[in-house]
Amino acid sequence: MTAKVILHVGAPKTGTSYVQDLLFTHREELAAAGTLYPADRFDAHFLAALDLMELQWGGLEKQAVGAWDRLAEQVRGWDGTVIVSHEILATATPTQVRRAFASFGDGVEVHVVLSARDLVRQIPAEWQENVKHRRVVGYRDFLDKITDPARKGTLASWFWGVQEVPDILDRWGSSLPASQVHVVTVPPPGAPRGLLWERFASVFGLDAATYAKPSGRDNPSMGVPETALIRRINERVNNGVLANEDYRQFVRELLAHQHLSRRTGSPRLTLPPDVRAWAEDLSETWIKVLAAKGYDVVGSLDDLRPAPASRSEAEASFADPDAPDEDQVAEASLDAIVTLLQENARLQAREHALREDVHAAHRELDRVRGLWFRVKRRLVREADGNAVLGRALSFYRRVRGSSSRSA
Amino acid sequence: MSDPARSWVAHLRSGGSTPWAEWLRSPGPAGGYDGPVPGAAQLELVRRLAGARPAGVADAAFTTLADRALRRSGVGRGQPDLPLLVPGRTTAPGVGAPPTDPADVPVDELLRIAVGLLADVVVEAGPLPARTLPQRRLLPRRRFHLAGAPVSVDALRTSLAAAGEVEGGWSPEVLLVVRPLDVHLAEVWSTRVQHGAPVRWGTFAGRWARRDVLPPSADFPRIAAHWAGKVGPSRVHVLVDPTLADAARLVGLRRAPAAARDGFDVHALPPAGTELLRRLNRVLNVRVRDDEREGLVRRARALLPARAAAPLALPEPYRAWAERRAEEVAATLRAGGYPVHGDLAGIAPRHLGAAAPRRSEVLSAALETCLVLAAADGAGGRPSRGAEGTER
């Protein structure tokens, strides 16, 4: 029987992909040591999360049918500790949390883990995630929506659903002892690179050094002109121009993740001074609420306090993605064009190779089918341009019935 | 001191429909419910279910349905479970969704729960098998083929089949049913939704308009040319907005048969009915396998409240496109030498009705459909799995 389930429920943009990739990379060693990460790919629990929360996700939800129940079955079948991790679980409602807990069976010790980063870094990152998911909302519009206390609309409700740390922990942790609710804080900028993994490892009950093989997986951020460029691309390719699967492959993965996020010289996304002040106040409220709850904090709640900056410093560091430097956007666009040309050339070479394979297969098929088949096919082709032959073929097909097919 | 929230929950579960604000002013009897207080949206949905409850829904069946609604979250993206606004009760400032008076819950949030509830009851009721057309006679007297607007064509096909005239045969008379282009597009959208598609009306229309392409069944010149190549243009009849009598006459019947209410394959639904099925498709995508979905959509469709079909206009940005395409189509058909029955100017879009299904009507349809199922359940008449011919 499973002794312990550790549910890592978010938040997005707190190193979750990195952690999931480490767990996936080491899944066999972990299993040998008694800890199961039940996954056939690093983000395998995404589909289970869609199923649990009945979420649509650009057509991917069709692959999610029954995924949570299958995951729960794996959990119940493991004799030891199981780790489940996906950041969109943060949005689960209390009803869905109850269903998740019940699915693990009786007598299981459930732990909930939420990794959290300060709001001043999270808010721009969330807008960028929105842009990378085809949204065309401008930055100021996004900020206005999330700072509106009414929280109306899907954009604001999603943001708060995945980013409001005290509320997420309330929803996931209210039926658990505080000692089984863990807040892993993301260290401030400049901290040692391995520190975040050490914090996660301590919650998972793992030796950080043993499983510290570097992961190539992360979810890097783009700068201001690059994000502005993707948003403009969205405006051109949405509404039927580019299917979701093509968007994922060419815009999100190829352009955003593999190329534009590697351009490090451009200005980074930050908060304008007015929103920064609001986020600083809200962070103080959260820190107080979390401290009062007595959760197990791995790291320090101080990490959730944005790095101090005066208003003039905030103003100086702010580059507005709604009015970006057009020269920088043009530079990013040229890089994007080159990337797409290279990809086009690669795909074309691949297509040529595949065509050659198909032709070779046809030649081999003809050789096997023999002379009579080749004569019939020739007659059918000739019938396209010869009226007598065409009528004869039509008559032949009527006599033969509708099942007759061209060669 | 009694808890007005819990007594209100008990009131709603028993079929009461008093609004929360009114309940606070003059609360009814205390007690009757000791569980956690559900969210404001769930409570408001149950109150509206009670308001729409027909006489046939027994108390126990209603309470079962109400409990399902109270226990479930909304489907898809939207607001989290909104806490009930209780005067004098404070929450941590700046944390969590704002407490809400149920009367202020947006219709969209109610719809998210209602559609989830509908999905629950439909999945439990099971799929409804597809109906099939009767076989053609061994030696049919008339050979005809129907093409064009899919909902209209299916209704004609079904009515003619009921009179013993089944489509098909060698070298048929072709009846190309042409309707105003916006009506036609709405028929194509409805057909796709009834087959499981989750696409919105505006998105659907926009896709065709932006690509400047007509859906295959609306590409009348292509259909007409295709059949003219087979049977000659004189046997391709273009029927503009035809009646059943028009079609019957061309098929060779002296008297028009009785009109079937619904087609074998698709029904003529009001925009709200189609929109409800579209939202249901989105949930079923993540709930059931592809091969189960269509049967469940048929089940829900069979339980939709009967409403007259209403027009659905194209969104404003696509209207000029539709007008231009309609003119082009009419000109091509005119030049094709086909016998035309009616005025080809009738292909022009009419722009009648709203440009999107009204959410309040979609919610009403969802509530009524859930209640129909609850009534069947309470009467021991739950539509059984595999029951044939129970649509409408």
Interacting residues of A211 by C-beta distance below 8 A, sequence separation 6+:
A22, A26, A29, A30, A201
Name the nearest CA neighbour of B101 among B86, B114, B113: B86
Instruction: Based on the fold, state whether residues A74 and A195 are members of the same structural domain.
Output: yes
B255 or A300: whose pLDDT is higher?
A300
Q: What is the pLDDT of residue B160?
A: 92
Hey, is B311 helix, strand or coil? coil
d(CA B174, CA B168): 10
B299 pLDDT more than 50: yes
The pLDDT of B272-296, averaged and rounded, is: 94
SS in 3 state form for chain A? Answer: CCCEEEEECCCCCCCHHHHHHHHHHCHHHHHHCCEECCCCCCCCHHHHHHHHHCCCCCCHHHHHCCHHHHHHHHHHCCCCEEEEECHHHHHCCHHHHHHHHHHCCCCCEEEEEEEECCHHHHHHHHHHHHHHCCCCCCHHHHHHHHHCCCCCHHHHHHHHHHHCHHHHHHHHHCCCCHHHEEEEECCCCCCCCCHHHHHHHHHHCCCCCCCCCCCCCCCCCCCHHHHHHHHHHHHHHCCCCCCHHHHHHHHHHHHHHCCHHHCCCCCCCCCCHHHHHHHHHHHHHHHHHHHHHCCEEECCHHHHCCCCCCHHHHHHHCCCCCCCCHHHHHHHHHHHHHHHHHHHHHHHHHHHHHHHHHHHHHHHHHHHHCHHHHHHHHHHHHHCCCHHHHHHHHHHHHHHCCCCCCC
Decide if A247 is inside a domain.
Answer: no
Instruction: Based on the fold, state whether residues A280 and A393 are members of the same structural domain.
Output: no
Banded pLDDT at A313 (limits 50, 70, 90):
confident
CA distance A53 to chain B (A): 7
Alpha-carbon Rg for chain A, nearest whole angstrom, is: 27
Tell me which residue range forms the domain holding A388.
370-407
Taking the mean position of all CA atoms in its chain, how far away is CA B206? 20
d(CA B93, CA B26): 29
Contact B95 A166 (CB under 8 A): yes
CA atoms within 13 A on the CB side of B48: 24
Decide if A162 is inside a domain.
Answer: yes
d(CA A102, CA B352): 51
Instruction: Based on the fold, state whether residues A278 and A407 are members of the same structural domain.
Output: no
Q: What is the pLDDT of residue A143?
A: 97
B185 in Cβ contact with B206 (< 8 Å):
no
In B92-219, where does DSSP find H-type helix?
107-125, 150-162, 181-194, 201-211
B305 in Cβ contact with B272 (< 8 Å):
no
Banded pLDDT at B105 (limits 50, 70, 90):
very high
B76, B97, B210 ranked by CB distance to A54: nearest: B76
Q: Which two tokens stand for residue B141?
A: 């007297």
Hey, is B286 helix, strand or coil? helix
Banded pLDDT at B178 (limits 50, 70, 90):
very high
- What interface predicted TM-score (ipTM) does this complex get? 0.83
d(CA A193, CA A162): 24
B73, B77, B210 ranked by CB distance to A157: nearest: B77
Banded pLDDT at B387 (limits 50, 70, 90):
very low
The pLDDT of B84-89, averaged and rounded, is: 86
Beta bridge partners of A7: A84, A112
Q: Which two tokens stand for residue B268?
A: 């003529």
Contact B286 A158 (CB under 8 A): no
Instruction: Based on the fold, state whether residues A300 and A397 are members of the same structural domain.
Output: no
Q: What is the pLDDT of residue A406?
A: 42
B389 pLDDT more than 50: no
To 10 degrees, what angle do helices A67-76 and A45-53 make? Answer: 120
Give the other-Cβ count within 10 Å of A99's Cβ: 17
Name the nearest CA neighbour of B172 among B239, B215, B231, B212: B231
Decide if A252 is inside a domain.
Answer: no
B96 in Cβ contact with B349 (< 8 Å):
no
A10 pLDDT more than 70: yes
A148 pLDDT more than 50: yes
The mean pLDDT value of chain A amounts to 91
Interacting residues of B252 by C-beta distance below 8 A, sequence separation 6+:
B141, B142
The pLDDT of B71-100, averaged and rounded, is: 85
Element (H, E) at B329: helix B319-335
Q: What is the pLDDT of residue A319?
A: 95
Strand order in the sheet with A296-298: A35-36, A81-85, A4-8, A109-116, A181-185, A296-298
B304 in Cβ contact with B365 (< 8 Å):
yes
Q: What is the pLDDT of residue A1?
A: 62
B38 in Cβ contact with B83 (< 8 Å):
no
B257 in Cβ contact with B92 (< 8 Å):
no
Q: What percent of chain B stands above pLDDT 90? A: 68
Instruction: Based on the fold, state whether residues A76 and A187 are members of the same structural domain.
Output: yes
B380 pLDDT more than 60: no
d(CA A113, CA A255): 32
B-chain CB neighbours of A62 within 8 Å are 285-286, 290
Banded pLDDT at B388 (limits 50, 70, 90):
very low
Instruction: Based on the fold, state whether residues A380 and A278 are members of the same structural domain.
Output: no
Model pTM score: 0.85
Banded pLDDT at A373 (limits 50, 70, 90):
confident
For the ranges A236-240, B210-214, B243-247, the lowest mean pLDDT is seen at: A236-240
pLDDT tens for A260-286 read 999 988 999 999 999 999 999 999 999
Decide if A277 is inside a domain.
Answer: yes
Contact B211 A240 (CB under 8 A): yes
Interacting residues of A26 by C-beta distance below 8 A, sequence separation 6+:
A37, A211, A213
SS in 3 state form for B160-193? Answer: HHHCCCCCECCCCEEEEEECCHHHHHHHHHHHHH
A38 pLDDT more than 60: yes
A96, A154, A158 ranked by CB distance to B73: nearest: A96
Name the nearest CA neighbour of B313 among B189, B152, B148, B151: B189
A291 pLDDT more than 70: yes
d(CA A240, CA B213): 12
Q: What is the pLDDT of residue B126?
A: 92
Q: What is the pLDDT of residue B103?
A: 96
Q: Which long-range contacts (CB under 8 A, 24 or more apart) does A30-34 make?
A: A30/A206, A30/A211, A34/A80, A34/A81
d(CA A62, CA A66): 10
The pLDDT of A243-266, averaged and rounded, is: 92
Decide if A49 is inside a domain.
Answer: yes
Q: What is the pLDDT of residue B29?
A: 83
Last residue of a domain, one of A292, A308, A324: A308
Decide if A250 is inside a domain.
Answer: no
Last residue of a domain, one of A285, A308, A331: A308
Q: What is the pLDDT of residue B38?
A: 94
Instruction: Based on the fold, state whether residues A294 and A390 are members of the same structural domain.
Output: no
Q: What is the pLDDT of residue B91?
A: 66
B390 pLDDT more than 50: no
d(CA B367, CA A16): 40
Instruction: Based on the fold, state whether residues A176 and A76 are members of the same structural domain.
Output: yes
Taking the mean position of all CA atoms in its chain, how far away is CA B245? 27
- Across the A:B interface, residue pairs with CB atoms under 8 Å apart total 89
A204 pLDDT more than 60: yes
Banded pLDDT at B193 (limits 50, 70, 90):
very high
Decide if A259 is inside a domain.
Answer: no
B77, B106, B283 ranked by CB distance to A158: nearest: B77
Beta bridge partners of B178: B240
Decide if A344 is inside a domain.
Answer: no
d(CA A286, CA B93): 10
pLDDT tens for B340-353 read 999 999 999 999 99
Contact B72 A241 (CB under 8 A): no
Q: What is the pLDDT of residue A214?
A: 63
Q: Which two tokens stand for residue B38?
A: 């559900």
Last residue of a domain, one of A308, A330, A362: A308
- Any idea which residue has 């739950």 for tokens? B382
Cβ–Cβ contact A55 with B under 8 A: yes
What is the DSSP secondary structure assignment for residue B229, as one 8-state letter? H
Contact B285 A56 (CB under 8 A): yes
pLDDT tens for A218-236 read 667 899 999 999 999 999 9
| Maximal CA-CA distance, chain A | 91
Taking the mean position of all CA atoms in its chain, how far away is CA B257? 27
Instruction: Based on the fold, state whether residues A303 and A385 are members of the same structural domain.
Output: no
Instruction: Based on the fold, state whether residues A96 and A217 are members of the same structural domain.
Output: yes
B3 or A399: whose pLDDT is higher?
B3
Name the nearest CA neighbour of A152 among B80, B357, B134, B249: B80
B72, B96, B207 ranked by CB distance to A239: nearest: B207
| Domains identified in chain A, total number | 2
A213 pLDDT more than 70: no
d(CA B392, CA B124): 19
Instruction: Based on the fold, state whether residues A195 and A279 are members of the same structural domain.
Output: yes
The mean pLDDT value of chain B amounts to 89
Mutate one of A9, A53, A56 to test the B interface: name it (highest B CB count within 10 A): A56
What's the CATH number where A202 sits? 3.40.50.300
For the ranges A214-228, B12-26, B51-65, B289-303, the lowest mean pLDDT is seen at: A214-228
Q: Which residue on chain A is closest to B78 by alpha carbon?
A: A154
Counting Cβ atoms within 10 Å, is residue B144 exposed (0-12), middle (13-18) or buried (19+)?
A: buried
Instruction: Based on the fold, state whether residues A382 and A297 are members of the same structural domain.
Output: no
Peptide bond into B354 cis (omega under 30): no
pLDDT tens for A162-193 read 999 999 999 999 999 999 999 999 999 888 88
Banded pLDDT at B138 (limits 50, 70, 90):
low
Cβ–Cβ contact A166 with B under 8 A: yes
Hey, is B145 helix, strand or coil? strand
